[in-house]
């Protein structure tokens, strides 16, 4: 064991401590939704007493140091709670492209990881979080079915949309030699989108549940001769080295994300989204689309999914440009309602593209 090895271990522990402090602060911010007062002296005293008691078992950590340290940590968490920061949930681990999209939308929001897409919807619906960010469609992979199915039933509105260019990076541990890399972990979709790069470099693929999760695993477990495909943000968050950027096969790889909220955001809009189902009669869909054609409105998306509540029928997702017709949207949508069976208005919002 050399001095350099010991120092590298200390560095990893330091990064781990920072990550845990970040996680603790996130949880503290989430508790604010469940209590009336920010300052709970009884709870804080209980925490400090328990930690001091535990420190008595550890022969290198003294009780007075523990009390000073955690008093300051709790005080710092309380400051964040008092700032009344808004929370936005995303699916996956920190560093996921959903978090990247959320940061582009509003860098002042506190990003909170959720296990599943349904957890993002439920957190916003139950007011545990202020916003949610979910991927709706990818330019290569098409619609994100699970998210679109959730949009059919939710009462949430689309507050904004972010169209994000997906830049995949090959990440490795700082101490790795890129010439010795043999295995790459990532989400199956990311692996497929970088197939040419992986084949050229004779890299074996190992599917993982999440791109950011793969980066987190690499940083924690440090498998030999291994790398991951993930976002640039993951390199910063998990102290990984970027071996190569933009390794995706197709440079026109964009994912469109919806920012969800309990209420529609009243801002100048350039997009509008609706969901509808038509009667099972010939020509009904055409009659709906003709309304938009006659109003000279450009449709930017039309997608269909089987309607699980009514087997044999389909639900249509339709987005259209609305910059020049905001004053007449209500009239247009009223005409649409007269032609269809089920109608859901998701909202008019601002969509931005980030390269």
Distance CA 104, CA 348 (A): 19
String of b and e for 314-336 (b: at least 16 CB within 10 Å)?
ebbbbbbbbeebeeebeebeeeb
pLDDT tens digits along 126-177: 999 999 999 999 998 888 999 999 999 999 999 999 999 999 999 999 888 8
Q: Which pair of tokens denotes residue 30? A: 């989430």
Distance CA 76, CA 315 (A): 48
At the top level of CATH, the class of 3-82 is mainly alpha
DSSP type of residue 154: -
Residue 189 in this model has a pLDDT that exceeds 70:
yes
Q: Which pair of tokens denotes residue 339? A: 């032609």
With cut-offs at 50, 70 and 90, classify the pLDDT of residue 278.
confident
Distance CA 80, CA 99 (A): 20
Q: What is the pTM of this model?
A: 0.88
In contact, 74 and 116? CB cutoff 8 Å: no
- Catalytically active residues are 255, 257
In contact, 145 and 305? CB cutoff 8 Å: yes
DSSP type of residue 32: G
Give the chain's end-to-end CA distance (angstroms, integer): 45
Look at residues 344, 297, 342, 302 and name the one whose alpha carbon lies nearest to residue 323. Answer: 297
Other CB atoms within 10 A of residue 51 CB: 15
**CATH H-level, domain 169-244: superfamily:** Periplasmic binding protein-like II (3.40.190.10)
In the chain, where are the structural domains located?
3-82, 87-165+254-354, 169-244
Q: What is the pLDDT of residue 216?
A: 94
pLDDT tens digits along 163-185: 999 999 999 998 888 889 999 99
Q: What does the pLDDT average to over 298-313? A: 84
Answer whether 3-82 and 169-244 agree in fold.
no
pLDDT tens digits along 57-71: 888 888 889 889 999
| CATH for the stretch 87-165+254-354 | 3.40.190.10
Which residues on adjacent β-strands are paired with residue 314? Answer: 306
Average pLDDT of the chain is 90
Q: Which helix (H) or strand (E) holds 323?
A: none
pLDDT tens digits along 202-247: 999 999 999 999 999 999 999 999 999 999 999 999 999 999 999 9
């Amino acid at each position: 064991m050399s001095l350099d090895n010991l120092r590298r271990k200390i560095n990893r522990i330091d990064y781990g401590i920072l990550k845990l402090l970040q996680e603790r602060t996130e949880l503290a911010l989430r508790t604010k939704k469940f209590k009336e007062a920010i300052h709970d002296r009884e709870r804080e005293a209980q925490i400090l007493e328990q930690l001091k008691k535990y420190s008595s078992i550890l022969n290198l950590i003294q009780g007075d140091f523990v009390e000073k340290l955690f008093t300051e940590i709790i005080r710092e968490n309380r400051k964040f709670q008092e700032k009344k920061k808004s929370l936005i949930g995303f699916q996956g681990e920190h560093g996921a492209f959903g978090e990247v999209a959320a940061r582009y939308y509003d860098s002042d929001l506190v990003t909170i990881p959720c296990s599943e897409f349904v957890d993002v919807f439920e957190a916003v619906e139950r007011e545990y979080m202020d916003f949610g960010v979910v991927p709706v469609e990818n330019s290569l992979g098409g619609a994100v079915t699970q998210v679109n199915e959730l949009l059919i039933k939710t009462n949430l509105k689309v507050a904004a949309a972010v169209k994000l260019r997906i830049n995949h990076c090959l990440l490795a541990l700082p101490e790795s030699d890129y010439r010795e890399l043999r295995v790459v972990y990532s989400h199956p979709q990311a692996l497929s989108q970088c197939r040419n790069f992986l084949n050229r470099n004779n890299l074996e693929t190992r599917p993982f549940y999440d791109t950011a999760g793969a980066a987190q695993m690499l940083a924690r477990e440090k498998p030999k001769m291994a790398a991951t495909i993930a976002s640039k943000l993951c390199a910063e968050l998990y102290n990984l080295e970027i071996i190569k950027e933009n390794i995706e096969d197709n440079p026109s790889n964009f994912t469109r994300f919806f920012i969800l909220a309990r209420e529609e955001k009243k801002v100048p809009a350039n997009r509008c989204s609706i969901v509808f189902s038509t009667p099972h009669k010939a020509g009904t869909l055409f009659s709906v689309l003709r309304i938009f054609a006659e109003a000279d409105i450009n449709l930017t998306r039309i997608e269909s999914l089987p309607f699980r509540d009514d087997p044999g029928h389909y639900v249509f997702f339709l987005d259209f440009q609305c910059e020049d017709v905001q004053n007449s949207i209500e009239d247009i949508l009223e005409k649409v309602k007269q032609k269809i069976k089920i109608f859901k208005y998701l909202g008019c919002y601002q969509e931005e593209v980030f390269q």
